Amino acid sequence: MAANRPERAMNRLLEDLLKVMTLERLELDLFRGESRDIGSPQVFGGQVLGQALTAAAATVDGARRAHSLHAYFLRRGDFNAPIVYEVDRARDGNHFATRRVVAIQHGEQIFNLSASFQSAEDGFDHQSPMPSVPPPEALPNPEAQLRELLERLPAHQRRRLEQKRPFEFRFVEPMELPDPPKRPARRHVWFRAIDRLPDDEALHRSLLAYVSDYHLLDTAAMPHGVSFASDRILMASVDHAMWFHRPVRVDEWLLFATDSPSASGARGFARGQIFATDGRLVASACQEGLIRPIQP
């Protein structure tokens, strides 16, 4: 009999992300997660979003999948300290289950989330068409362009962009930093995990929540000629909502089509649709964030 082939080792960056998404269970509905420094001054919002959804899913019957979440970022997270997630089992119905999650650090709430889970059901089916954009294989890898951009950025912004990430991105519209020309508030970004992931739908939805915090709020800054890398603006997520429409794999190319219909009161609002390469609309996301101009 032939010997079993050893499994191929997963990329270390992605393996570490899975470790971050694997929470320690302290009690029946109490979990603890660790953080990673991605170069920003606080914990990455997508990390807290993904961990909170993971905690909520761990208290729900495995046959039910998250179909929506609504979250608020209350305080900056400290990536040097663990985050505790407390889950409240708000409701378990015949088809739906609802969970509330509070993230606590240094004795204070830094984040809260409500998530709804549903058993699989058949029903009506329609969706918006996928935008017509070049496929990811036809777009350049932004790594070379990024190296050129880094030379023009201040040290604190270079540190953030120099960090290697467990996802790769391909930009349909050009990435221009730190102060791009004013453009319409519309963007298309292809993304996928940099290695193959386990066949676990709950994991893929948690990771989709994680990566949905990339490049969403930036769309609201496009009409104003600034970006997250600009020293003329302060940007931070305030709230985040997602709806999961259909099964998804984040280790296959997905298109994030975003736009921003409004910015006012030092806040920007952005929304996005996430499509698989076969045209299926797999998820939608909305976010409002602080976009505060900094006076010279």
Chain segment 240-249, per-residue pLDDT in tens: 999 999 999 9
Among 105, 114, 157, 213, the one annotated catalytic: 213
HSE-CB of 26 using CA atoms within 13 angstroms: 11
**The two three-digit tokens of residue 139, written as one number:** 């777009």
Sorting pLDDT into bands at 50, 70 and 90, what band is 18? very high
Catalytic site includes residue 212 = no
The answer, yes or no, to whether residue 80 has pLDDT greater than 70, is yes
The pLDDT, as a whole number, for residue 7 is: 55
* DSSP 8-state assignment for residue 94: S
Catalytic site includes residue 273 = no
- Taking the C-alpha atoms of residue 157 and residue 94, their distance in angstroms, rounded to an integer, is 49
* Mean predicted confidence (pLDDT) in 120-133: 97
- Taking the C-alpha atoms of residue 54 and residue 251, their distance in angstroms, rounded to an integer, is 18
pTM exceeds cut of 0.75 = yes
The pLDDT, as a whole number, for residue 156 is: 67
The answer, yes or no, to whether residue 69 has pLDDT greater than 60, is yes
Place of tokens 């932004």: 142
Contact (Cβ atoms closer than 8 angstroms) between residue 61 and residue 48: no
Among 230, 237, 273, 284, the one annotated catalytic: 237
The answer, yes or no, to whether residue 4 has pLDDT greater than 80, is no
* Mean predicted confidence (pLDDT) in 275-279: 98
Q: Which fold has domain 12-119+139-293?
A: Porin (2.40.160)
Catalytic site includes residue 237 = yes
* Mean predicted confidence (pLDDT) in 15-40: 95
